Each structure stands twice: as structure tokens, then as C-alpha cells.
Structure 1
Amino acid sequence: MSPKTIVFLLFLVAALAKSSHLDLQRRAYKDLSPHIIGGSEAPKASYPYIVSLQYGHIGYDTMHFCAGSIFNSQWIITAAHCLNQIPINNFIVKAGKRNIKIVESTEQTVEVEQAFVHEKYSTRNFGNDIGLIKLKTPLNFTKEIQPIELPQAESEPTGVAYLCGWGYVLSNYFKNLEMPDKLQDIKLYYINRDVCDAAVTNLTGFSGSVGETNICTGPITGGISGCNGDSGGPLISRYGEKPVLTGIASWIIAPCGTYGSPTVYTKVSKFNAWIKQKIATHTTRLYRYIN
């Protein structure tokens, strides 16, 4: 496969993650021969901060296209490319979900009031791939619906990481790429950004694809990675029992799980100030006047 072909597939993965139609995703992806990506079914209520972004409207059939993370009761953190071509009145947010194919007693469904894409987001190389969603009504926190903390600003995560999502898995090699019903998770490892960029360069022939606003996970031995539909979802580190949002699933080199290919994320610690500034600017405050 030529370097130019591989680069095309790399961008195709992120583009398909924001597609508004699942059949389009399947038709576009059916000949890419993706690998089994190594996840397993997540335990109940183990990731209460993940949400499903679903194309459609309340009261009608909807369809998962990206994920996000609960920052507080009215704000969701996700990837910019998930928001870049989907009008806010064409998708909803579902929290408290484990099985995205059924209505669950734990779920809450909320419409979107506003969406914000980072001003320096690049569709060329997916730099600054971060966005925020403001919900029309606040979430009610329960055991299955909880916020997640930001990492320390400018911190560099190391060691073990965990990725969860409803991205595609492969049930029949070379034939059936399917979105799972139930939330999947996988244990990964952070890899050095220079090593990550070198791995991408080795596969594509182009260097500099991985920048300072990215973090990466491996192993890069093949068969383990994120995939379409995981975009926008949380990569976390655990400090004792406390989960911290270190990354936002951004892009991979297709096919998913390619040998030598890392999974690339937006590095959240680079955007603490941006997140807080956007929320502060667009949060309505009620004042009580004292006579």
C-alpha cells in the first residue's frame, strides 16, 4: 500500500466518525479489512462519565456517531471533528448508557443548546481536535451519570491508560465491521510522542503528524486500537479510584489495529484554560438583587 493511500485512510477514519449515516460508514469502510481491535465488554456503571452523541431527534430512532465526556451537569467535552459538520439541531446527547441499541432505565437524553469547536482546529492534520457541547437542560447525576476531572494543566500522562467507547469491532475478519451494542473498554499504554510520530511516519512517509497537542497509546503490535465511533470519547488515567480525562479519541491509521500504528488523542491538559474560559463565557448566571 502506497504512503498516499495510507494517509487517505488515516483521514477517512476521522471523517467517517462524523458521518451522519451508519450505512454510509459501512459502505465506505467495507473494503478496508480492519483487524480485531482487542476490547471487551465494560462492567456496568464503570464509566459513568461517557456519553453517546446520536444523530437524530428525541422521540425518533437515533444513531450513535461519536462519544464525549461529562465535565459538569451542562457541559460535554468531545472532539472537534465530531461537531464540525453536524448541526446542533440534528443530534442529541445520551448519558447513563451501556447498551446503545435499547432504551435503558439509567439513561438521560438531552438536546444540544450550543456547540463550540476550537478556533485553531485543523481539518488538515486534526490539530486542536477538541470541542464543547452545552446542553439545553442539566443532567441529573446518578450512579451511572457522573462528571470526570481534568488533568493538571500541561501534565504528561504515563503508564497505563483506559479507553472506552462504542466504536466498531470486527466479528468476522474481512467481512463484518459492526458497532457493538454494549460499551467496550480496553487497557492501553501511553507511548512517547516522538515514538508515536516516528511510527506514523514509518507507515505514511510523512513526519510531524503528531504534535504537542496530542498524546498516543499503544501497544503498536497490531490488533489493539480505537476505531470508528470511538471518536470524541474519553481516554483516562486512574489515580487510585479517581479517573482523570487525559485524552479525547481523535484519529488512527486505518485499518483499525494496523501493526505499527498508535491511536492518537487530543491531549486534554493542553486545553484546561480553553475549556474553563469557554464555559465561563457561555454560562448564564442568575443574580439576586438585594434592596
Structure 2
Amino acid sequence: MMKLLLCVLLAASCAADSLLTEVDPFITNGELAEVGQFPYQAGLNVSFGNWSTWCGGTLISHYWIITAAHCMDGAESVTVYLGAIDIQNAEEEGQQRILVQKSGIIVHSEYTASTVVNDISLIRLPIFVSFTDRIRAANLPRRLNGVYPTYESVRASASGWGRDSDASETVSPVLRYVEMPVMPYAICRMYWSGAVSEKMICMSTTSGKSTCHGDSGGPLVYKQGNSSYLIGSTSFGTSMGCQVGFPAVFTRITSYLDWILEHVIAHT
């Protein structure tokens, strides 16, 4: 049942199992992003030697990006797009493209492809990235009264590039986003028959609005005042389609803060 419903949002991973649907990235029925609206958004052109795929990521400092393990597992290199709205326009003002070799990719050592457990990865940029109006890091979550919030029922934004409907066959060149409520964990488990763990966070996908195939690794962000907090990294959805209303699942960032800090310090 798990394999029938679960489709990791990346063509490379889906092709590994005949029960999973081969897919490409997109935000379904998303709104067009404005310049500087999501300055933490990274685009990732991931190379596996003789082929490549597209994923998303989140800038969290001048040197580091968070993305999904299933995007980076086995990757030879990745070209990181920062400050981009139109990824097909290399001359876009304020856009940067940075090549990162395999040595700069850190995949969680306990990532399990079959269950998408520990679906998180870090990318260490080889250069210091200066912040601008178009490029700026998202904040990592902070404790409230000594504990991390669950973020249940708050509205959060997910963003990425790609097709804008299940019927579309081409990747969108422009950045899109959706804003939807975070679904209570207990309700998400009912949809996914226990396939989600407490290290995952779910987003409601009503009205056909959702993240989808290949938006993998991209940000789920809760905005409070002028601060943007990265609370999730796009992980998986259902092979039945992205407009059917099944919850989208993200890696819960609060569950991996120690892991993130450990590697950031080790590579400082």
C-alpha cells in the first residue's frame, strides 16, 4: 500500500520502482512569485553524470543550503540558482549560479529511500554568498517556552519551479508558490496509513493547490512578522496526482536541527 501511494517527488527516485510514477517538478495552481518575495529559495540542477534533474532548496546562511536527501543521493554535482525568478534567463538581474562538486554534498547517513526516512541533505557552497534584496537566508525554527512549535494549523508557504497542473508536461521557467495550512499530524497519519512519522510535517492541499513532483527539497516556510522560518523541506506526495487533495509531506526541520548544526560546525 505504501509503495502504491507514495511517489517521491523526483524522476530518478520514482524510476527505481515500477509502482511509482515518473515525474517532474511543479507547484500545482500556484501563484507567480514576485522579485524578492522568496529570497531564501534555491533552485538545484542536480547532475548524475550523463543525466540531470531539478530540485529545490533553502538558503540558511552565507554558505549552506538545505534540501532533500532523495534529490542529492548519488549526485556528482549540483548547480545552485540563487535570486532567480526565471531559471531560463541567465542574464536575469541579481541571479547567481554556483557549481558545487560532490565533496560539497552531505546526505543524511540514515536516509532510507524505500520509506523516505531522514530525507534531508545539506549543500556547502564553495563561496561566500552576499545577501541582497533577492538573496537572503531563511531562519531556522526557534523554541517557544523551551519547546519547538508543531506549527499545526498555521498558514505556511511552499515554493518552487515547474508544471502548474497534473496535465502539464513542461517545467515552468518561473517561480511559483502556494500558501496553505499545516495539517495536524494525527490527521495526516490517517491519510497516509501510518507512513508519516513525527519527523515529518504535512500541508493541506485543498482546491488543487500543492507542491508536487520535483519540488523536492524546496522550502515550507512560516512567516511571523518580518521573519521567515524554515519549518519543512518538500519530501513526497501521492502518485495519484497532485491535485487530488492528498496531503503533501515535508521533512520536519525541528527534528534535524542538531544534525544540521553538527555538520555546519564540522565544515566551518
Q: Which runs of 5+ in 2 are unaligned?
A: 16-20
1:198 — aligned with what? Answer: 190
1:101-157 Cα deviation digits (max 9, x unpaired)? 111121111121511111221112111111100111121211101011100254311
1:24 — aligned with what? Answer: none
Work out the CA distance in 2 between the residues paired with 1:28 and 1:250. Answer: 15
Cα distance, 1:17–1:214 mapped onto 2, change above 3 Å? farther
Checking the alignment, whether the CA contact within 8 Å between 1:68 and 1:78 is kept in structure 2 is yes
Q: Which runs of 5+ in 1 are unaligned?
A: 21-26, 202-207, 284-291
* Two-structure CA RMSD over aligned residues (Å): 2.6
| Aligned equivalent of 1:243, options 207, 225, 228 | 228
TM-score (norm 2): 0.85
Runs ≥4 residues deviating over 3 A: 17-20, 27-30
| Aligned equivalent of 1:77, options 63, 66, 70 | 66
Aligned-partner SS, 1:279: helix
1:162-211 Cα deviation digits (max 9, x unpaired)? 111113322xx64x32211110011111111111111122xxxxxx2100
Checking the alignment, whether the CA contact within 8 Å between 2:27 and 2:161 is kept in structure 1 is no
Cα distance, 1:111–1:149 mapped onto 2, change above 3 Å? same
TM-score (norm 1): 0.79
Cα distance, 1:17–1:99 mapped onto 2, change above 3 Å? farther
Checking the alignment, whether the CA contact within 8 Å between 2:10 and 2:213 is kept in structure 1 is no
1:179 — aligned with what? Answer: 171
Aligned-partner SS, 2:88: coil
Pairwise mapping of residues 154-165 of structure 1 onto structure 2 (< 5 A)?
Answer: 154-158=148-152, 159-165=154-160
2:239 — aligned with what? Answer: 254
Report how far residue 19 of structure 1 moved.
Answer: 8.4
| Aligned equivalent of 2:30, options 18, 39, 44 | 39
Work out the CA distance in 2 between the residues paired with 1:228 and 1:134. Answer: 24
Please say if 1:14 is aligned against 2:13. no
| Aligned equivalent of 1:166, options 125, 142, 161 | 161
Work out the CA distance in 2 between the residues paired with 1:93 and 1:235. Answer: 18
Report how far residue 229 of structure 1 moved.
Answer: 2.4
| Identity within the alignment, % | 29
Q: Which amino acid aligns with 1:98?
A: I
Report how far residue 257 of structure 1 moved.
Answer: 2.5
Work out the CA distance in 2 between the residues paired with 1:281 and 1:120. Answer: 18
Pairwise mapping of residues 60-99 of structure 1 onto structure 2 (< 5 A)?
Answer: 65-88=54-77, 91-99=78-86
Larger Rg: 1
Aligned-partner SS, 1:232: coil
2:217 — aligned with what? Answer: 232
Work out the CA distance in 2 between the residues paired with 1:129 and 1:53. Answer: 16
2:18 — aligned with what? Answer: none
Checking the alignment, whether the CA contact within 8 Å between 1:94 and 1:108 is kept in structure 2 is yes
Checking the alignment, whether the CA contact within 8 Å between 2:10 and 2:23 is kept in structure 1 is no
Q: Which amino acid aligns with 1:75?
A: W
2:110 — aligned with what? Answer: 120
Work out the CA distance in 2 between the residues paired with 1:151 and 1:245. Answer: 6
Paired residue total: 252
Cα distance, 1:223–1:200 mapped onto 2, change above 3 Å? same
2:201 — aligned with what? Answer: 215
| Aligned equivalent of 1:152, options 133, 142, 146 | 142
Checking the alignment, whether the CA contact within 8 Å between 1:223 and 1:258 is kept in structure 2 is yes
